[in-house]
Chain A
């Protein structure tokens, strides 16, 4: 008997129209857990490095986390993996909502799509019955609209629908997959779904998900619920409100947006408005949100209310989460009313809320600076807000200039030329980042930005405070109940961390400390992504209910896999290294690992090199960021080093510098 997981993957070949139910190997679960871990193993095994994103050979994997469908609070994430058209590396965007548990209840751990359907189709998964159905009538429909139409068509309001909008159908490089109040947005996975000719995947399940040790497991779940309650009544003092509690930043609840509007950049990540927030704006924005917000809503089995139902006058209802509340507003130098209106369209079209506003602001900057001309924007309205609506429509239809802009700022700038590249200034690995421009280099954030392979800072940060506490008393209070640390040394680092002087950025935390902090933070995210746990109750906030000390117990009692801290850390390292291996085999190297040049004003090139050297070493990678044969062997990934040696990425017995290895290669 399999516990927590079902042991069955659905394999759907869209070219042939075949559907297979394939039993999985329990040994893979032990080595790679589930979700992202086992997704990555499949990507490595079956998608060769030369595979193009829009090739029928590319896979699109919808993987549920190992513990999804069990009573673990907030464990509801679907991890979607494919080769991204935007980065040409492996993307693994995630979505919360209700889809992953439903798929488990239908009896499957993953849906693996291969090939391409000649006609637009949707998939209907209802327990044992799995069908590929015609979706011609859904062409061009919005993602939310599609979900509602399918519920009617199937006469079942309990189905869960993951759908793409027009952006996915048009293969926009930052198209999302939308699902109720959640979406998997980064890396353009919606474009791959559109390329495969799949409009939606509808799921309904009525089967059991089992746990190995019922009494133990429910006890652990109870402890988590109690700790959430404890954290609700004990917000962390001395940090900004959005960092004090649990969940995603509670954007749908808060009205005070002083911090975001004055610290994040407006336009194409250009302008900081230091004195923007005032009483008048607060009053106007509060009114806008209160009138629009029908209800605060949650994902499956989670008490946090990170999302809201939004009904703007005259527009269809949609659901909004987190920071998209402000990205369009700030990208367009506008107000919240505009932001909530355009987000309605953007949600139906299915686009990434980080990238899309920046791409549009980038286009208008190019126009302002004469790199693009008026004739590139035929029929564009005069007013600022109207221009953004116009651009959004052009992009999702790939009409005119929209066809270029649909590829994101990196690829569009390359194509446009004539100096456009300088305006695509906020990218890492070809992906638009959060609009932040800061002063002093932060060594921990430098490493996270540079080496993250999830292309979003929110998917690697957390756990360790972003800034030091001002007083000794505050620091001591913070560490006094810091049970989440994997090692006591982290408490001392925080106790000694100061705003100014010797123990401050950029040289403190020291190189070694910075590496350890980043490694801890990243490891927690990778564990979440394999278990299906929302980062909002785990790797993202300070002092979360899930951590390295209770996770092994959850896995043991839930999945029946004997687990402890060391074994779990090793497993996370294994599939984290495998993600890197996929990307290294696709050409990613040290040269690609750098934050935007203007992210910080004060840069320290030598220190930055030192940080990368040390971090690569800690991770078991050589100086070019390639996992070494030795570290691969320790992780049981000899098959990766064999492939690397065969492809000339590593040479036999080489374990230091990739560059040196090439130079001294023995022919």
Chain B
């Protein structure tokens, strides 16, 4: 095995919550971009970025969809920042059983931010005209080859967790039969 260190590009979106005006343009363009066909529909509930927005308490937190998790956290902490109380979940990226965030509204399948693959920059950044979201890339060393998990696998795993492996296997068998 080679000892040469490998690097990978880390794409990151810097979120400045002081600048967020709570308009949710990020949610609008995200859901449009990921619609099938592209831009054919809009629905913030399907967006992979959501803004927790509580104007009266001055809470504005855009957060991106991360990984699917099977179980919710055992306890939930609270943070107090600049005198404002935030639930831990406000910053959490997980598509998790405790909430309906980052799930397809119809199927319940988990959603995950893909940084708008194929575009120059994530479209939420492009549509955020108050600069609460900015895009950065940086190189980072990695130890070992990463295993990529594709969308279909993530989706199937979620279904397995929800309905059990037997039922999903059953349905797949039925569908394959019908298709053949």
**B44 adjacent to chain A (CB < 8 Å):** yes
Taking CB atoms and an 8 Å cut-off, the chain B residues in 42-85 that contact chain A are 42-46, 52-58, 60
Interface size range of chain A in the complex: 35 or more
**A418 adjacent to chain B (CB < 8 Å):** no
**A208 adjacent to chain B (CB < 8 Å):** yes
Cross-chain contact A207 with B129 (CB below 8 angstroms): no
Cross-chain contact B43 with A303 (CB below 8 angstroms): no
Cross-chain contact B29 with A71 (CB below 8 angstroms): yes
Partner of B40, one of A211, A296, A309: A211
**B168 adjacent to chain A (CB < 8 Å):** no
Alpha-carbon distance between A229 and B58 when the two chains are bound, in angstroms:
26
A69-B42 contact, Cβ under 8 Å, with A214-B37, A296-B21, A303-B21: yes
**A317 adjacent to chain B (CB < 8 Å):** yes
- Rounded to whole Å, the gap between the CB of B27 and the closest CB of chain A is 8
**A209 adjacent to chain B (CB < 8 Å):** yes
Residues of B within 8 A of A218 (CB): 32, 39
Partner of B22, one of A209, A217, A297, A318: A297
Residues of A within 8 A of B35 (CB): 208, 214
**B171 adjacent to chain A (CB < 8 Å):** no
Cross-chain contact A208 with B28 (CB below 8 angstroms): no
- Rounded to whole Å, the gap between the CB of B53 and the closest CB of chain A is 8
Chain B 145-170 interface mask (CB, 8 Å, partner A; 1/0): 00000000000000000000000000
Alpha-carbon distance between A225 and B52 when the two chains are bound, in angstroms:
24
Cross-chain contact A301 with B24 (CB below 8 angstroms): yes
A157-B21 contact, Cβ under 8 Å, with A105-B44, A211-B40, A225-B129: no
Cross-chain contact A300 with B23 (CB below 8 angstroms): yes
**B25 adjacent to chain A (CB < 8 Å):** yes
- Rounded to whole Å, the gap between the CB of B41 and the closest CB of chain A is 4
Cross-chain contact B28 with A301 (CB below 8 angstroms): yes
Chain A 164-183 interface mask (CB, 8 Å, partner B; 1/0): 00000000000000001100
Alpha-carbon distance between A316 and B55 when the two chains are bound, in angstroms:
12
A305-B42 contact, Cβ under 8 Å, with A144-B56, A157-B54: no
Alpha-carbon distance between A89 and B140 when the two chains are bound, in angstroms:
67
Residues of B within 8 A of A98 (CB): 24
- Rounded to whole Å, the gap between the CB of A592 and the closest CB of chain B is 40
Cross-chain contact A303 with B130 (CB below 8 angstroms): yes
**B135 adjacent to chain A (CB < 8 Å):** no
Residues of A within 8 A of B23 (CB): 298-303
Taking CB atoms and an 8 Å cut-off, the chain A residues in 206-260 that contact chain B are 206-211, 214-215, 217-218, 225, 228-229
Residues of B within 8 A of A144 (CB): 56
Residues of A within 8 A of B22 (CB): 297-298
A208-B42 contact, Cβ under 8 Å, with A214-B37, A228-B129, A303-B129: yes
Residues of A within 8 A of B53 (CB): 157-158
Alpha-carbon distance between A295 and B60 when the two chains are bound, in angstroms:
10
**A268 adjacent to chain B (CB < 8 Å):** no
Cross-chain contact B41 with A208 (CB below 8 angstroms): yes
Residues of B within 8 A of A305 (CB): 21, 130
**A73 adjacent to chain B (CB < 8 Å):** yes
Alpha-carbon distance between A424 and B60 when the two chains are bound, in angstroms:
44
Taking CB atoms and an 8 Å cut-off, the chain A residues in 274-305 that contact chain B are 294-303, 305
**B179 adjacent to chain A (CB < 8 Å):** no
Residues of B within 8 A of A548 (CB): none
Alpha-carbon distance between A158 and B41 when the two chains are bound, in angstroms:
20
Cross-chain contact B58 with A225 (CB below 8 angstroms): no
A209-B24 contact, Cβ under 8 Å, with A71-B29, A144-B56, A303-B129: no
- Rounded to whole Å, the gap between the CB of A400 and the closest CB of chain B is 33
**A660 adjacent to chain B (CB < 8 Å):** no
**Nearest 7 A-B pairs (CB), nearest first?**
A303-B129, A206-B45, A214-B39, A208-B41, A206-B105, A298-B23, A298-B21
- Spell out B's residues near A (CB within 8 Å): 21-25, 28-29, 32, 35, 37-46, 52-58, 60, 100, 105, 127, 129-130
Q: List 12 A-B contacts (CB under 8 A).
A: A98-B24, A105-B45, A180-B55, A209-B42, A211-B39, A211-B42, A228-B129, A295-B21, A301-B28, A302-B23, A318-B56, A319-B55
Given contacts A217-B39, A228-B129, 7 further A-B contacts (CB under 8 A): A71-B39, A73-B25, A157-B54, A206-B45, A206-B100, A209-B43, A301-B25
